[in-house]
Structure 1
Amino acid sequence: MKKLPFLLFFVLFSCFPERDIKHPDQDRQEEVATDAIGKEYPGLDPYKIYCGPGWGIKFCRFLLKYDNTTWANAGSRIKFSNFYDDTFISISNLDSIAPYAEEGWRTGETTYGEIKWNIEIKIDQEDVLSFGYDYYGSSEEIEYSIIYRCEVIDGVLNFSFKGQTFIFNPS
């Protein structure tokens, strides 16, 4: 009679399938930050974009691929560089839509005389570069913001902002 509760307990629990108890994070693959050539950096946040001057240039996938390339369209010119002299893009003769870009744009906050702007890279992929441009003018408040997108499709550069797209060919 004393064995009956034990026998019932054993029969009940042996009929249930065995459960493998896992921590919820065990099934997820560990995300690791990698640079443009695939080297892993486990200590860095894999969701942050590290592309920028200094040690971050090795993380710039787009700029590594298109470093020192020039693209032209009807008198306008765009040139990419992997942060030589801290610049990543220079734009010339594209009307007034890219103020002060002929000298080259840098990421972060820049002041030119009384004029101030801030640029932050939003997307950095092998054939796509997108960056935000906040223009302050001479005040401390943002006057306007623009998202620029550079995408190479079938060997031509599509440069887009404010719903407009300009097509540039390699030169």
Structure 2
Amino acid sequence: MYVFRIIKKCFLLFFVLIIFSCLKNDIVQSQTANTDPASMANGQVYPTSSRSYTNFCNAPKNCKFLSKYDGTFWADKDNYYSDFSDIQFSNYARFISFFNIDRDISYCKGWKKGENTTDGVKWNIKIKKDEWDEFWFDYDYYGTSNEIQYSITYKYEVIDSLLHFSNTDGQEFIFHPSKKNYSKDFIDTGKIVVTEGCTFYGLE
């Protein structure tokens, strides 16, 4: 009988030790759940390559070009009245706007993804690449026809804080972040024409 009691106590002690061990393991896992996955609970670190913010942004949706550069303006820094339209990117329906600023008459136009139509003239836009610092889209022009008249691929890439533009029509240019005020009261022009899809600040 005495031996049986000893065996019973040993069994209970063993059972308690198992439960305690499991609880301790859960605590360790909880404490290390939000730490670097390359580090073990005891502090040992697995060999791993250095972290890259660019690599980290290959997957998340908010690392796309239009999200990163939403609301930014780009312009020819050397010429207020440039041969190239000032550009604004947007992470909304009309993803890009072109501001044509001239001494006499200025206007802007906004393009959206998919089909665009103005005064019976149609064109279609398809996004080809929307990455961290690079953005491409195809522009298919229909005009008043049901067939594509011509196509152009537009390419934008931000390198060292400058916007590099090129297209398959042979145009190339480098834009700088714009310092212009795009309010109707500050644009240096004779007249502003309101167009569908885009407007200068202060105009409805």
Return the TM-score normalized by structure 2.
Answer: 0.50
Q: What is the Cα deviation at residue 150 of structure 1? A: 0.7
Q: Report matched runs for 1:75-90 at 5 Å.
A: 75=81, 76-83=85-92, 86-90=93-97
Q: Structure 2: where are the runs of 5+ without partners?
A: 1-56, 179-204
Within the alignment, does 1:164 sit opposite 2:171 as a pair? yes
Checking the alignment, whether the CA contact within 8 Å between 1:60 and 1:124 is kept in structure 2 is no
Aligned to 1:62: 65
Q: Which structure 1 residue ranges, 5 or more long, are not aligned? A: 1-35, 40-57, 96-100
Gap change, CA 1:37 and 1:151, over 3 Å in 2: closer
**Structure with the higher strand share, 1 or 2:** 1
> Retained in 1: the 8 A contact 2:136–2:153?
yes
- Provide the rounded CA distance (Å) in 1 between the counterparts of 2:62 and 2:116: 22
What is the count of residue pairs matched by the alignment? 111
C-alpha deviation, 1:72, in angstroms: 0.7
* Alpha carbons 1:60, 1:82 under 8 Å: kept: no
- What is the identity, as a one-letter code, of the residue corresponding to 2:73? T
Query: Which is greater in Rg?
Result: 2
Q: What displacement does 1:113 show?
A: 1.4
Root-mean-square deviation (CA), in Å? Answer: 2.3
Q: TM-score, normalised by structure 1?
A: 0.59
1:102 aligns with 2:105: no
Going from structure 1 to structure 2, the CA distance change for 1:60 and 1:110 (only over 3 Å counts) comes to farther
Runs of 4+ in 1 over 3 A off after TM superposition: 36-39
1:92 is displaced (CA, Å) by 2.2
Kindly indicate whether the alpha-carbon contact (under 8 Å) linking 2:71 and 2:89 is maintained by their aligned counterparts in 1. yes
Letter in 1 for 2:146: E
**The one of 140, 147, 150 aligned to 1:144:** 150
